Amino acid sequence: MSAQLALDFVRHSAQTSRRKSLSQSEDDSMKLYGTTGAGSVAPQAALTHIGADFELKMLDFKKEEHLAPEFLAINPRGQIPALVLDDGTVITESAAVLLHIADMHADSGLIAAPGTTTRAQTYRWMAFLATNVYEGMLRYMYPEHYTTEEKHDGVVASGEQVLSRAFAILNDTLDGRPELVENFSVADIYMAMLFYWHHDLPALTAELPHLQPAVDNTLSKPGISDVFSQNGLI
C-alpha cells in the first residue's frame, strides 16, 4: 500500500462521514480505481468521452495495492475497476460500472432510453462481454486462478476456445455495421478494451475482419484513443 493510497482512503472515509455537511470539493469527486492497461480502461475512456469530472486512482498491482486492506474495504474482491461515486457508493464489476456511467450521463447517448429494445441489446452485449470475453481473457492469462492442478494447459486451451467462439459471434454481429447496437454505446467501448487484450491480434483480425473496423470506429470518438494510448493498448 502506498502512502498516497492510504491517505486517499483515509480522506475518503472521513469524507463519507462528513459528506452531508460538505459542499462539493475535490475530495467529493467521483473516483475510478484502476491499473494501467487493465479493466479500468473502458470506464476511464467512457468517463473521458463524456467529459465527466472524476479522479483516477491508479493502483500498483506489483506492490499488491489491490490486496491492501484499504482497497479491500472498497472492493472486497480486490479487483479493479471500482467506481466510488461522490456520495461514497461503490460500484464494482466492469459491466455495471460502464452501464452506470452511461446512465449518469444520459445525454451522452452511450445507452438508449429505459425500456427500449436498443437498451436491451446493450444489456445483452454487456453481459456477453463480461461473462464470455472478459472471463475468457482471465482464464487464458491467469489459468492458475481456474485450477488446483499444477499444469494449466487445459485451462489456457479452454480460455482460447471461449475467446474464439465469443469473438466469432461479435464479428458476425458487426458484419455490415460499425457498432454492436443501433448507436455507439458503452458496449463498443467495452469490446474495444477486450479486443486489445487478445494474445494474437494479427491472427484474430485476419480471421475475423469486422472487429478492427468497429474498434477503429470506437477509437475515432472523442477522448477514447487518448485513454487507450495512455494505457498502452494502442
Ligand X SMILES: N[C@@H](CCC(=O)N[C@@H](CS)C(=O)NCC(=O)O)C(=O)O
Q: Which stretch binds ligand X (CB under 6 A): 43-51, 111-119, 130-138, 198-206?
A: 130-138
| Residue 159 neighbours by CB under 8 Å, 6+ apart | 136, 137, 138, 139, 140, 141, 143
Residue 82 near residue 91, CB atoms below 8 Å: yes
Residue 78 near residue 226, CB atoms below 8 Å: no
Among 68, 90, 138, 169, binds ligand X (CB under 6 A): 138
Phi first, then psi: give them for residue 30, nearest 5 degrees.
-65, 140
Smallest gap from residue 66 Cβ to ligand X (A): 6
Query: What's the CA gap between 6 and 36, in Å, rounded?
Result: 19
Q: Is the dihedral of CA 7, 92, 129, 114 positive or negative?
A: negative
Site string for ligand X, 72-101 (x = CB under 6 A): ------xxxx-----------xx-------
Is 50 a binder of ligand X (CB under 6 A)? no
Smallest gap from residue 64 Cβ to ligand X (A): 9
Among 12, 57, 66, 198, binds ligand X (CB under 6 A): 66
Interface contacts to ligand X, rule CB under 6 A: 38-39, 66, 78-81, 93-94, 130, 134, 138
